[in-house]
């Protein structure tokens, strides 16, 4: 559905001491540990280019892990979706834009925007759109993309039955916020793909360990509780 999906990993770093693709120092490279999860989730990732340059960004993790995911770099003047898929669309075939609760409240009922908030019971069989960026970048992408403003939305809220790790790789992250990988893990949990959700959080924990090792310029320590082999059980490729 995306108009210009990426076909191959971007070269994100020209620093010779870092991996060109995962952005981490070579001694902490995560490329051999990208997970492959067995999920039916159809996910369209709209990524801000500046966000992809950050070592803590988890959009690549989602793109690598989910077999039915696609990623596109956001450009204000270029189409997001194939135009032929948006001709006189009905609400029940449009992809669903995911909003954290904090931002969903910001745009609820904004003049000129037709974006009904769906309930959990209305999500079956739908594809989803994730805006990958900071709060400020997500607002910019939304406000400057007419297509996004007319998609139905789903408000992601924390679930006590599926607690997310409170550790954050970014000091300035909103206290009530979560990163892209955590958001999609929460969505998977709510869509009843509970084991996939757990596996994605395990992958995020492993990735976080590599990010911290890269920042400290040392190799990642062994994570005894993480069964990396489990990520390959449901490989779609």
pTM over 0.85: no
Angle at 115 between CA 113 and CA 121, to 5 degrees: 170
How far is C-alpha 118 from the chain's CA centre? Answer: 19
Continuous H helices in 1-160 = 49-52, 59-65, 101-107, 135-143, 146-149
Question: The tokens of 207 are what?
Answer: 């990735």
Identify whether the C-beta of residue 205 lies closer than 8 Å to the C-beta of residue 227: no
- Range with the poorest average pLDDT among 58-72, 87-101, 172-186, 219-233: 219-233
Residue 74: half-sphere exposure toward Cβ, Cα within 13 Å: 27
Identify whether the C-beta of residue 197 lies closer than 8 Å to the C-beta of residue 161: no
**Residue 18 pLDDT greater than 70, yes or no:** yes
Give the contacts of 75 (CB within 8 A, at least 6 positions apart). none
**Residue 235 pLDDT greater than 50, yes or no:** no
pLDDT tens readout for residues 68-126 = 998 888 887 777 765 444 434 455 678 899 976 555 555 554 554 546 788 888 998 89
For the four alpha carbons of 77, 78, 80 and 85, in that order, the dihedral sign comes to positive
47 burial type by CB count under 10 A (0-12 exposed, 13-18 middle, 19+ buried): buried
């Amino acid at each position: 559905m995306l108009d210009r999906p990426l076909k191959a990993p971007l070269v994100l770093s020209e620093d010779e001491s870092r991996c060109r693709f995962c952005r981490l120092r070579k001694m902490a490279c995560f490329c051999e540990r990208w997970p492959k999860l067995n999920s039916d989730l159809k996910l369209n990732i709209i990524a801000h280019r500046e966000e992809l340059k950050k070592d803590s960004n988890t959009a690549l993790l989602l793109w690598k892990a989910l077999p039915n995911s696609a990623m596109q770099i956001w450009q204000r003047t270029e189409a997001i979706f194939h135009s032929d898929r948006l001709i006189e669309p009905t609400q029940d075939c449009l992809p669903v834009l995911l909003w954290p609760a904090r931002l969903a409240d910001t745009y609820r009922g904004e003049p000129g925007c037709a974006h009904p908030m769906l309930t959990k019971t209305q999500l079956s069989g739908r594809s989803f759109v994730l805006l990958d960026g900071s709060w400020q970048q997500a607002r910019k992408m939304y406000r400057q993309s007419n297509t996004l403003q007319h998609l139905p939305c789903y408000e992601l809220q924390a679930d006590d039955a599926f607690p997310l790790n409170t550790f954050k790789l970014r000091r300035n992250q909103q206290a009530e916020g979560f990163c892209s990988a955590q958001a999609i893990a929460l969505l998977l949990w709510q869509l009843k793909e509970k084991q996939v959700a757990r596996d994605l959080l395990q992958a995020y924990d492993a990735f976080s360990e590599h990010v911290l090792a890269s920042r400290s310029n040392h190799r990642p320590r062994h994570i005894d509780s993480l069964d990396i082999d489990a990520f390959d059980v449901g490989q779609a490729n």
